[in-house]
Amino acid sequence: MLRITMVKPRILILCTGNSCRSHLAEGILRQAAGDFLEVASAGSKPAGFVHPLAIRAMKEIGIDISEHTSKSMNDFLGSQIETVITVCGNADQACPVFPGQVNRHHWPFDDPAHATGTEEEQMEVFRRVRDEIKKVFEAYADGRRDAIRAGKSK
């Protein structure tokens, strides 16, 4: 019996620090499209940690990113990346072209790590940014799913 294994297109979400926005987007896109897309995130200057309030904001919507790690975009330079999505201006400017890269999108979001005030006031900013990212990345997943149903690869 011949078994054909389909390779999922790899999506790389980039931000400068890879501590907040890119992890929010990675978790959301994985949940929305992990059945047909491979999703990873990285940073141009990785912070070395995932922000605890990002983890908490995602837990509130049932997505666990507590095992995510902050990675460098250089870790992916030898990988086949189909689509690069930058979620902050600095990463967009620093983003290299990856081997085999077909698509590139730039969807900037406010950085919730810069939120000030009480922890609850900061959480409100994390929730707002999370919800904005959720709308955009779920729509992206729906568009990709529709394209697959229509017989188009991208």
pLDDT tens digit string along 55-72? 999 999 999 999 999 999
Beta-carbon neighbour count of residue 70 at 10 Å?
20
Residue 145 belongs to some domain of the structure? no
Q: Which has more confidence, 79 or 130?
A: 130
Residue 79 belongs to some domain of the structure? yes
Give me the number of domains the chain comprises: 1
Q: Is 126 exposed, middle or buried (0-12, 13-18, 19+ CB in 10 A)?
A: buried
Residue 73 structural domain: 10-140
What is the set of active-site residues? 15, 88, 95
- CATH number, position 98: 3.40.50.2300
Global confidence as pTM: 0.90
Percent share of the chain, pLDDT over 90: 77
Structure confidence at residue 90 as a pLDDT band (50, 70, 90):
confident
Q: Which is nearest to 50 in space by CA: 21, 20, 12, 30?
A: 20
Q: What is the mean pLDDT of the chain?
A: 91
